[in-house]
Every structure is written in C-alpha cells, then in structure tokens.
Structure 1
C-alpha cells in the first residue's frame, strides 16, 4: 500500500499479517509493575536487552534459546523514561522522573549516579562526538537542556539550551536530533556538539512524540500524536525531492459517522525504529499495531493486527534479526482506562527479510 493512497488496510498476504504470523514471538508477561517506557538491545549481544518502566525499575533480559530470563535489575526513585547501552555492551544508562542519570555496570552488578538535570530526563543516547570522536552520554530533559557526560566525572562536559522541553531524541553517526515541546526540532552535528546546527519547526501540526535517525545519518523520521510520520533529510535539495509526510495508525470507526461517512479514529505514533541493515523502519502506536515501512519506495512492507493494548516502544537489535515491542498503557485515553486488566507485556518478534527488506523495483 502506498503512503499516498491513505486507504484502509487491503487484504493482501504480502502486506497484511495475521496473529498466526506472531505465533512464534517470544512473550514476557508482566515484565514490570507498570508500563514499559523504553526498550534497548545490547550493542554487543543480540539476545540481551534492557527495559525501563514507570514502576521505577530497569531490568536486563536474556532471551537466548527463546527462554526469557531477567539477569539483572536496578531502581530509580521515580518512573524511568529511557534506557540505552554503552558501545562496549558492558553498561546500561537510564534516566527518568527523579532527574538522575544512572549507570549500571553488568560486569560488577554495581550502579552509580553519573549526572542530574533540573527536571525529568526524557531521553538519553550514547554518542561519539567532538574532535576526538570520543564516546559520551547525551541526555535530554524537560528542563529545556541537553547535557553531555563523561561517565568518569559528575559534572557535564557541556550543557546546550534547547528551544523547549525535550520530548524526543535520537542519534546516528554524527547526527543528533532533538524534538521539543511546541514542535521545535533541533539538529546537531556531533563533530561540533556544543551548538545547534539548525532549528526547524516540525512539518507535522501536532506534538512530536518520537524521533528516529536513519542508520546512514543523513536524515530522520518524526512521529506525532496525530497519527502522522514525516520523513526528513539534512540536505535541502534531497529534502525537496524526497521528503514527505504521511498518515498512519488510524482506524475507520463505523460506530462514529457524519451522514453516510464513517469517521476515523486517530492514534499517537509512540515509537519508530530503523532497521540497522536495510534502512527500512517500524512504527508503533496507541492503536496497538506496528508496521514495517520502506521510505525510499514510499511503501508499507507489512502491517500487523492490533494487539490487546497500546504499543509504547519498539526497537531492533544490532543485526536487525529481532524486534522488541512493549504493550502497556500510554495514558492516551486518560486515567479511567488505566485498569488492572490492561496488558503489560514485552514481545520479541523475529522479522523475515520479506517484512523488512526493501523490495526491488
């Protein structure tokens, strides 16, 4: 289905999946006491991943041989909103509503506080930056700053003011992109991390929910709460030629209509992740579905049926052979829908090339 057709899902075996296509997914029931906020695979082990949760904990899981085992756990004093792995795969970083950046060393099972913000930490990423291309940790906060941390010291290497509260952030190669409140997008070249290279207004009309950078580092995708994704390129000429936005994570509701026309329910795009090998991407939303997309051909590769709950986060492992996605309440329908029976699950899907590889013309 073309991005531009904007039609309901067609009954084609090549683009529409069924529950049978998910029968072999690894399922982790009740992985936390509250919704999962983020999932991230180890940079060195394709079967190990971390999951942060609103219950204030970060758990590390090993799913080798299809038998999920929690191998480590540590805590914050408030909900944890983001987790990522160091380049050597020995450490897990996390941040959240206690305003603290923590680092957990898997070789010693020791945790330490490595930094703070003046408000909640929404996102963090390990990046290589500066003239020496050294690894550091960058954190984005609701205090309207990002900070770069050398993990050997308590004070940040640098603090960079953002246009507003940080809502989304991602990096690839020398590219760091930060999405803030009021739909600002800050683009940073990590060879010069101390200043913003360019600030734009999001082409999407509603609040930014997620950002994901292309593996090639030459562009990024933006997802909004209004069921839209924008495909952006750094090069202005390429952007004019190949940049676009499209509708997704929407569902026709026959129970709501104006005259003879059914109305469409619109859902938030909660998470986007790019395949590290093929450069295609997956999106997931409040409608409980995830879809694989080919941005170059402007085509949906495969869409999966709605699960029993919103999908809060998705992420590929380093080889693109596994996709983790978490089901849990995302507060998109307010307090009254947060019932004890709401699903809280992590599932691991092994995508085939037919699902994620760019199709030949």
Structure 2
C-alpha cells in the first residue's frame, strides 16, 4: 500500500514513494536540566538561538542552543498550572505561554521578567502571535477549552477581540494571515487574520479520529493535520487546489505476531525553514522527514526510546529538537516516574531534509 492517498476520487494519486535511507540518531545531543514532568511544547526563536519549552511541571524553560547543538539553560519562569503551549514573537524579543491555570504569560528577553497578559474561563491550550493590518506591534492569540479564541493587545488588560468556536481548542497555528484551529469533534476552523473576528471556513477533518495537531503551510496556502490514527492530511484553502489534497499513513507499526497494524497518534508536524519539507513525530517514538510536493519520505529514523510529544527546527534548519515524553493520551496512570523525560537535539544532515525528485524512484 502506498503512503499517500488522494482525497479526490477523480484525480490520480500522483507519485508516491516509501524509499528513504534510515537516519542516524546515535550522535543526538541531550539537553541538560530538562523539565521535571511531561513536555507539552517546544519552539525555537526565529531571531536567535533560544529554545522555549513548556512542561506539566508548571514551568517554562528557555535554553541557549547553538548550531552545533551546544546548549545551556538561560531562564525559567512559573505558571500556576501545567504549561501547554509556548510561542515566540516575530522579533524574538518576547515569549508567550499558556496553560491550565487559564492564563497566558509574557516573558521579556531583555528584562527576564514574566507578567500575565491574558485569561480565559478554562485552560489555554495554545498561544500564537499575529500582526494586525496597519499595526506596528504584534498581538497574542489564545485558544482555550472554553471554545473561544481571544486576541490580546499587550497595552490593555481586556481582550481586543474574541471569536466563538464550535468546540474546545486542541491545537492551533498561524502563518502570515492564516489562523488554523483544530478543535474537539474533528472540526477544523480557519480565520483570515485580515478579518480576525470572523470564521472564514469550517470543515470536518478528513481524518477518522481525533485531531492531535494542525500546522499551517509556510506559504499559508493550506493546513497539515495530524490525527490519533497514525495518519496526516493536507488540505488547501483555495478550492482550485482541492484535487491536490491528500492523506497519508505514518506512525503505524506492523504487529510482530498476527495480522494487522498498531496505530499511534501523530503528535507534531514541523516545517523546515529553508527547504519547505516537513517532519512528523508520534507516539510510536519515531520521527520522519517528508516532501509534500513530491509526496515522498526523504528520511526515516529509528525508535528514540519513548513517545515524541513535541518537535521543532531552529531558524536555520540545522537543528531539529524533539521531546521524549509521555503525551497523556492514555491517562495519568501511564505517566510513571520511570518514563523518559528529555529533550534531544538532532543535527540535520545536508541531504536529510532536502526535497527529493520523485522521478528518481
């Protein structure tokens, strides 16, 4: 069976390939002083070598990570509950974080201080940034389990705007003027940030099970969706590209005995900042690099020793960070004290994440 399946019955599936050499993780570097509980999110600054990490231990940690993988702790600040999301401002000067204390906080790189800047009635699942039209300063976007998205002008205490959603926010991402939101009950809701108070489009995910992650294409033309059934879907916002939409299987492992396949959730999708290829990582404890345009896997990697809960490339694409951590998909009883909890740094090889010519296979 091919990895890739076209969502349109009338269009050919196009080139597909399972061919890729196995990558090497033996030299991957462990970050010192990791969080003390499960890692929920991580993100690199677009302007510096800073890596922010959110954890269920109620803290946000910031690390210095060089292009060689050398790393050291820079700062740490608390929330009053587990932290679920972190996001850097475009200029790299501020970090937003949100969590189960129903609050979003802002950490300033220059002063090293954090302050509360947002609040919801229920936990904040995701935080992002955007620049309103005609403005010279960014706003923070918060998505919550209270079924709302709110926009926060950091110069005032009350939200600058709010949008009612169909369900609880599970995942959210921004690229340019595109805000994509994955909620409970498989709703994918899209907002054009030129008109931030209105839902631009709502649709049901083409995947069968719960949405785990949504990631916007770098050019804002569409959205990648990762699901609990070990599949991803790529959808486009322009109807003329609908025939190019597809789903593909990943993070599934053939059973050692008997027929069938063990299915694992896709927890993270990250785009390479230079090549435009992307990574997937999941509860099967593996990550892979893919090229969506040629629909090929560019590199696969072996099991890392535990569930991968979050991933991200640094600003140059030379470092790929992944968190080995429990993802809470099976409840609290599986979060044992012996479960691994660490952040790894993979130095991306020259050929690992580059686009492949599908005609070669």
Aligned equivalent of 2:12: none
Instruction: Assess if the C-alpha contact under 8 Å between 1:54 and 1:79 holds in 2.
Output: yes
Corresponding residue for 1:284? 281
1:299 aligned onto 2:301 = no
Greater relative contact order, per chain length (Cα 8 Å cut-off, separation 6+): 2
8 Å CA contact 1:94–1:101 kept in 2: the answer is yes
Moved beyond 6 Å, runs of 4+: none
User: Helix, strand or coil for the counterpart of 1:191?
Assistant: coil
Deviations 1:36-80 (A, max 9, x none): 1000111211x2110000010000001235332111000001100
Q: CA deviation at 1:109?
A: 1.2
User: Deviation string for 1:152-210 (max 9, x for gaps)?
Assistant: 21111100011100001111111110011011111111111111111111111111100
Q: Could you tell me which of 132, 136, 140 is aligned with 2:139? A: 136
1:215 corresponds to 2:196: no
Aligned to 1:123: 126
Decide whether the 8 Å contact of 2:285 with 2:305 is kept in 1: yes
More divergent stretch after superposition (231-240 vs 69-78)? 231-240
| Structure 1 Cα separation of the partners of residues 22 and 194 of structure 2 | 42
Q: Any conservation in 2 of the 1:30–1:344 contact (CA below 8 Å)?
A: no
Partner of 2:338: helix, strand, or coil? coil
From 270, 274, 286, the equivalent of 2:271 is: 274
Query: What's the offset of the Cα at 1:134?
Result: 4.5
- Could you tell me how far apart the structure 2 residues matched to 1:309 and 1:98 are? 28
2: CA distance, partners of 1:212 / 1:273: 7
Q: Tell me the equivalent position of 1:43.
A: 46
Deviations along 1:279-329, one digit per CA (max 9) or x if unpaired, are 211010000000101111111111111111100001112222211110001
Taking the aligned partners of 1:49 and 1:332, their CA distance within structure 2 comes to 25
Change (3 A) 1:208 1:133: farther
Query: In terms of mean alpha carbon deviation, does 312-321 or 289-298 score higher?
Result: 312-321
Q: Distance in 1 between matches of 2:56 and 2:249?
A: 29
- Distance between the aligned counterparts of 1:106 and 1:170, measured in 2? 23
Inter-partner Cα distance in structure 2 for 1:192 and 1:133: 17
Aligned to 2:13: none
1:30 Cα offset (Å): 5.3
Is 1:204 aligned to 2:207, yes or no? yes
The C-alpha deviation readout for 1:216-269, integer Å capped at 9, x for no partner, is 1111100011111001111112122x10011110001123x2xxxx22100000
RMSD: 1.8
1:62 equivalent to 2:49? Answer no
Question: Which 5+ residue runs of structure 2 have no aligned equivalent?
Answer: 6-16
2:247 corresponds to 1:245:
yes
TM-score between both structures, scaled by the size of structure 1:
0.92
> Pairwise mapping of residues 122-271 of structure 1 onto structure 2 (< 5 A)?
122-132=125-135, 134-240=137-243, 242-255=244-257, 257=258, 262-271=259-268
Question: Are 1:98 and 2:104 an aligned pair?
Answer: no
